């Protein structure tokens, strides 16, 4: 039994006493307690050791007081499980030394047995659920297939991911084969996250907004839809396709419980596009958490009023920045908790 089920009730579009709040990347680099662990353990040690993963996942619950925990992990554990080498070097971002470029490269990867390759995630989830002891729900997650393909093909971060796009435009057959392999792996992975105890699932399509509406449908949403369909009867699913405002309507029709939005779309506009039957999550500009605290409070209240009462999960519009002072993050969360939305 959950003591705080604000998030889950909002995902079911039930009325709650107040708006639930959490922050993308809340377990991580802005917290001194996290930085201490980072100095001692490599990224994959932190991700693959259930005890460490559990400790990091729960830090923001204790320190910041958010209404949900989100598994500490990385979307690139999926391509790693599929057989690609993934390096995550602090402050340098991801690096995949042998990216997928040709038909031959596809032979190096597979749809893995997720128990064998990602068992450490399920162990971590079980431990987190035990340690949380019903305080707040736990969100599991994975990257959207298009975003995973971006890294598998480009091999590193990019502003435009033009090599990944060129791969899709010049070798569409291969691209769709790869996208389907990622999708199959992701479905198996997320189903096991749910079995292990995840109360909700978020799909991160960080690079969805680099595509035109047509390409987003064809290269990204088609596969997200498969994932939502496979999971939605077991657990509520949140889709966060950053920048893909133009497909909010289509995303709202997938069966997802909630859509994440960034600060570049006004809440009223997002409601108009996504309709009345879905919750929205967001959309505070993470850079605004660098503002003075009174300014943060003012802007959070404006955001809450703009979303209106109900069907809203307060969050940032992207991950929290590493240089945000902890008391600014607290001010964000506390303002949501204290605010009375005009009905």
Contacting positions for a copy of itself (CB under 8 A): 159-160, 162, 165-166, 169-170, 209-213, 215, 243, 245-246, 263-266, 269, 285-288, 290-292, 295, 318, 321, 323
Q: Which is nearer to a copy of itself, 2 or 290 (CB)?
A: 290
Helices 293-307 and 267-274, packing angle to 10 deg = 30
Active-site residue, selected from the candidate residues 9, 13, 18, 38? 38
Question: Would residue 135 show up in a list of annotated catalytic residues for this protein?
Answer: no
Q: Which is nearer to a copy of itself, 275 or 292 (CB)?
A: 292
Question: Would residue 29 show up in a list of annotated catalytic residues for this protein?
Answer: yes
Task: Output the smallest distance, CB 317 to a copy of itself, in A.
Answer: 9
d(CA 231, CA 264): 29
Question: Would residue 271 show up in a list of annotated catalytic residues for this protein?
Answer: no
Q: Which is nearer to a copy of itself, 168 or 235 (CB)?
A: 168
Q: What is the dihedral of CA 247, 248, 250, 252, to 10 degrees?
A: 160
Cβ pair 138, 194 in contact under 8 A = no
3-state secondary structure of 139: strand
Q: Which of 311, 310, 303 is nearest to 336 (CA)?
A: 303
Cβ pair 71, 26 in contact under 8 A = no
Task: Output the smallest distance, CB 42 to a copy of itself, in A.
Answer: 24
Active-site residue, selected from the candidate residues 13, 25, 41, 285? 25
Task: Output the smallest distance, CB 127 to a copy of itself, in A.
Answer: 33
Cβ pair 55, 62 in contact under 8 A = no
Task: Output the smallest distance, CB 60 to a copy of itself, in A.
Answer: 20
Q: Which is nearer to a copy of itself, 134 or 292 (CB)?
A: 292
> Which residues, at least 6 apart from 321, have a Cβ–Cβ distance to it below 8 Å?
30, 286, 287, 289, 290
Active-site residue, selected from the candidate residues 74, 105, 215, 285? 74
Question: Tokens in use for 187?
Answer: 């479905």
Helices 145-154 and 222-231, packing angle to 10 deg = 130
Half-sphere exposure of 20 (CA within 13 A, CB side): 25
Active-site residue, selected from the candidate residues 34, 46, 67, 151? 151
Q: Which is nearer to a copy of itself, 180 or 291 (CB)?
A: 291
Question: Would residue 13 show up in a list of annotated catalytic residues for this protein?
Answer: no
Task: Output the smallest distance, CB 164 to a copy of itself, in A.
Answer: 9
Question: Would residue 108 show up in a list of annotated catalytic residues for this protein?
Answer: no
Helices 293-307 and 326-338, packing angle to 10 deg = 40
Residue positions annotated with a catalytic role: 25, 29, 38, 74, 151
């Amino acid at each position: 039994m959950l003591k705080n089920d604000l998030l889950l009730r909002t995902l079911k579009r039930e009325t709650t006493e107040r708006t639930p709040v959490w922050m993308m990347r809340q377990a991580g680099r802005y917290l001194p307690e996290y930085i201490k662990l980072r100095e001692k353990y490599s990224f994959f040690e932190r991700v693959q050791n259930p005890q460490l993963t559990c400790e990091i996942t729960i830090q923001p619950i204790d320190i910041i007081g958010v209404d949900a925990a989100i598994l500490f992990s990385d979307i690139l554990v999926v391509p790693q499980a599929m057989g690609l080498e993934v390096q995550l070097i602090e402050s340098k971002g991801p690096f995949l030394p042998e990216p997928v470029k040709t038909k031959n490269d596809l032979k190096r990867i597979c749809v893995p047995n997720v128990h064998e390759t990602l068992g450490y995630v399920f162990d971590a989830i079980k431990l987190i659920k035990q340690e949380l002891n019903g305080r707040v729900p736990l969100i599991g997650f994975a990257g959207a297939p298009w975003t995973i393909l971006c890294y598998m093909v480009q091999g590193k971060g990019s502003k435009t991911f033009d090599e990944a796009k060129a791969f899709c435009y010049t070798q569409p057959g291969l691209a769709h084969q790869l996208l389907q392999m990622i999708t199959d792996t992701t479905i198996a992975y997320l189903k096991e996250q749910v079995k292990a105890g995840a109360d909700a699932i978020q799909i991160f399509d960080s690079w969805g907004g680099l595509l035109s509406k047509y390409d987003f449908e064809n290269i990204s949403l088609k596969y997200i839809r498969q994932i939502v369909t496979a999971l939605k009867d077991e657990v509520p699913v949140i889709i966060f396709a950053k920048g893909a405002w133009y497909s909010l309507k289509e995303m709202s029709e997938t069966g997802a419980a909630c859509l994440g939005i960034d600060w570049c779309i006004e809440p009223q506009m997002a409601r108009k596009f996504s309709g009345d039957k879905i919750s929205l999550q967001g959309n505070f500009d993470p850079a605004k958490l660098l503002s003075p605290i009174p300014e943060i409070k003012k802007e959070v209240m404006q955001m809450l009023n703009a979303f209106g009462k109900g069907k809203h999960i307060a969050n940032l519009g992207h991950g929290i920045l590493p240089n945000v002072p902890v008391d600014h993050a607290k001010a964000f969360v506390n303002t949501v908790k204290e605010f009375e939305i005009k009905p």
